[in-house]
Amino acid sequence: MRPMREIRGYMKALLRNLSVAGLAFVLACSETSTVVMEPLPERFTPSAAMSGGPIVDQSVESRILVAASSAPPLETYQAQFWAIAGKDRKFEIRYATNGDGREHDEHDEEDEKRPVFWRLRLEEHSLVTRPDGTPLSRGDSLLISVTVDSVRLLVDMEPSGLQFNPNELATLTLSYGWADPDLDRDGDVDWNDRTIEDNYLGIWFRADQQSAWEQVNAWHDRERQRFRMSIGHFSGYTVSW
């Protein structure tokens, strides 16, 4: 059996050799490839994005997503729909084409040729009162107006003040699939943009144009690049970070 002193000396030599080999490997890698991860602004903190109460951010306006230069136009930027109390209804605004001029298939609900930008679904008991508080009876109709910004991913819905049944809220879907992928607008699409999309992109609303933007809870479908959420009232909604 070898003496303990000899064993310790052997172990020290082995550790020195491993350290030198590891350093050589790191240097070799640094000579062949360099990956630079740009730090995000300090305000990007998970605790802020995941706090219990609503997030109010006055700078949201400057970070609203805009349409990509290659995005096809929407079929319309202003629309009106009749909602009927006591009936399930679905309203939507699609892109005019998928960007290459092909028209859509009227029988395909998802219709990948002409994807949905905005969709509103009302359940049977979603409508209960008018904006002035007057009750809606089954079969009563209510005119809904939608205005979409021609550049930014921003939608305003009226009548203002309309409240939905808290036990059967309306469902709103907004897509950002045709948004400019340079989310931080620094001139390139990189790791920062992917980080923003995965962790900080969300849906914000404001009661009117004078009110501050507040973030709302929404389900983020990253594969289809869209958000879906339950809403209790009409106002302005946008995709921002």
In a domain, 225, yes or no: yes
Is 121 inside a domain boundary? Answer: yes
42 in any annotated domain: no
Residues 148 and 209 in one domain: yes
The number of beta carbons lying within 10 Å of the beta carbon of residue 65 is 21
For residue range 15-53, list pLDDT tens digits in order. Answer: 445 444 443 433 343 333 333 334 444 333 333 333 445
Q: Are residues 185 and 74 part of one domain?
A: yes
Please, are residues 160 and 234 in contact by the beta-carbon 8 Å criterion? yes
Residues 213 and 152 in one domain: yes
Number of domain units in the chain:
2
Q: Are residues 101 and 143 in the same domain?
A: yes
| Domain membership of residue 230 as a residue range | 48-240
Partnered with residue 150 across adjacent β-strands are none
For residues 203 and 154, the answer to whether their CB atoms sit within 8 Å is no
Q: Is residue 131 part of a domain?
A: yes
Provide the b/e sequence for 162-194 (b: ≥16 CB within 10 Å): bebbeeebbbbbbbbebbbeebbeeeeeeebbe
Q: What is the CATH classification number for the domain harbouring 92?
A: 2.60.220
Same-domain check for residues 115 and 160? yes
pLDDT surpassing 60 at residue 93:
yes
End-to-end CA distance of the chain: 67
Examine residue 194 and state whether it is found in any structural domain, yes or no.
yes
- Domain check: are 60 and 28 in the same one? no
Residues 24 and 105 in one domain: no
pLDDT at residue 38, as a whole number: 41
67 plus 98 within the same structural domain: yes
Give the pLDDT confidence of 163-180 residue by residue, as tens digits: 899 999 999 999 999 999
Q: How does DSSP classify residue 196?
A: H
Q: What pTM value is reported for the model?
A: 0.71
- Could you give the CA distance from residue 117 to residue 207 in angstroms, rounded to a whole number? 21
Outline where DSSP puts E strands in 48-201.
78-84, 89-94, 116-122, 141-148, 154-158, 170-175
Domain shared by 158 and 206, yes or no: yes
Domain-embedded: residue 23: yes
